[in-house]
Amino acid sequence: MRDELIDLRVKIKDIDSQILRLIRDRLEFSRKIGEIKRKNDYPIIDLKVEAKVVERALNQARDFGLDEEFSRRLVNNLIIEAVRTQGVIIEDRARHLYSVLERVKELESEGVKVIRLDVGEPDLAAPGKVKDALRDNLYRKKYVGYTSSKGLEELREGIANELNAKYGTDITKENVLVTTGGKLSIFTAILSKIASGDRVVIPHPAWPVYENCTRLVNGRVDLIRTCVEEEWAIDIERVEEAFKVRPKLFILCNPNNPTGKIIPDNDLNEVLQIAERNKVCVLTDEVYSSYSYKPFKSVLQLTDSNYIYVNSFSKRFGLTGWRVGYAVADVETISRMHRIIQISVTCVPEFIQRGALEALTINQIEYRAFAARMKERVNIACEELDKLPLHYLKPDGGMYIFPKTIFDGFQSRHFAHRLLNEKGVSIVPGEAFGEYPEHFRISLGRDVKDIRAGLKIMGQMIEKWPRL
């Protein structure tokens, strides 16, 4: 018995050594391929080739009787490493977002008044009734303990009822998870679906958090670039191509941050059908849906399976710092996400959840007034932008505009930092959202006076910016 054990362990040792030697050789060949690609100006990442590599490996794995999931992750990990060998540098885009934010805080602490056109926070005040409910639940009712990590039953039920009334769905509280902001819904969604080597498809430009979170678990991000010249339309052929490499997740932000684009119904339908055919889960981030200036369709209205829907109290109710968001998905997915909340933040504080519950009972007319105010800001900002050498698509929704300068060689991150340091106006560089150095994001979270003043100052700097 003992001899057999020793014998088997020796065999495993030999196999490990062979595997590692083969991986070394594989990476060496990849490096050489990288050199050829660079010499000939070929793109380093070629999804068509990667799809073939994955497919071939899966066929062989099937023949060998290996688990498909395991084999897919293994071959994708080899691809991730090969791409790294070929010199692809993965940029941490979020730093472009947070570097502006940190510099703003520094300047403000020195007493500088900054015109904030960077913030993803609407300056809308939470209605008094909601704040009163929070105070009452904290001081009088003393709801200060832990709640279920899924969130209060009443709140989950309230969220389900609201969505059902709005979208004609049949969501129950079992499908709802309350999280510390929509951000934690996104984080737990990705963590619950993605392991090392899994692929996530994201149309660009995109809020950088999706990418960073995927990379945190060594997932592979496949991007689908969209551009202002094509009105930020998602190319369906490119979606088909990306899905051939068998991703686990497709992330949509609708209305989009930073472009303000609402995906047209037909495109959304088509994309969802492709996802369904390929058994890819759709993570739909709809935190800006209450600011829609055109008819808006939720993914909830178009599909009833294999999605994770995310929304939040932050943008719609002006409750960013309260940190209440939620996810809706099938019971099994919710249970996996719930386990991550259990072992991390435990729950959103109960008195805050009860304040959020009160927000759900507020007359919807009041919230529609928020959207009307945001739309007015969009119109005013567009009037100012029209005077400048910029190209942009008027947002269909959300609270941002993502203009493009029309001269070559523009580097948004330099522009954003000079504008902030020299003129006290903060915007977010386009690099935060993808390969968009000619673009920048303007937030309409502040009042009309600030928007006008900030855009005027920004415009003067644009006019004088050195052109190549």
Interface contacts to ligand PLP, rule CB under 6 A: 120, 181-183, 207, 253, 257, 285, 287, 312, 314, 320, 325
Q: Least Å distance between CB 445 and ligand PLP? A: 10
| C-beta of 314 vs 333, nearer to ligand PLP | 314
In the numeric block, the tokens 């992330």 are attached to: 251
| C-beta of 307 vs 410, nearer to ligand PLP | 307
Strand order in the sheet with 281-285: 176-179, 325-328, 307-312, 281-285, 249-253, 199-204, 220-225
- Pick from 96, 10, 37, 31: nearest CA to 429: 96
| C-beta of 54 vs 221, nearer to ligand PLP | 221
Q: Least Å distance between CB 361 and ligand PLP? A: 20
* DSSP 8-class letter at 387: T
| C-beta of 72 vs 96, nearer to ligand PLP | 96
Q: In the chain, helix, strand, coil percent, each to 5?
A: 55, 10, 35
| Under 8 Å between Cβ of 130 and 358 | yes
Q: Least Å distance between CB 313 and ligand PLP? A: 7
Residue nearest to ligand PLP (CB): 181
Helices (H) and strands (E) in the chain, counts: 17, 14
| C-beta of 151 vs 181, nearer to ligand PLP | 181
In the numeric block, the tokens 């200036």 are attached to: 293
Mark 295-318 as b/e (b = at least 16 C-beta within 10 Å).
ebbbbbebbeebbbbbbbbbbbbb
Q: Least Å distance between CB 84 and ligand PLP? A: 28
Dist CA 85 CA 33 (whole Å): 10
Q: Least Å distance between CB 395 and ligand PLP? A: 13
Q: Least Å distance between CB 260 and ligand PLP? A: 11
| C-beta of 86 vs 185, nearer to ligand PLP | 185
Strand order in the sheet with 440-443: 400-401, 440-443, 428-429
Q: Least Å distance between CB 384 and ligand PLP? A: 23
| C-beta of 192 vs 257, nearer to ligand PLP | 257
Q: From start to end of 357-460, where are the E strands? A: 390-391, 400-401, 404-405, 425-426, 428-429, 440-443
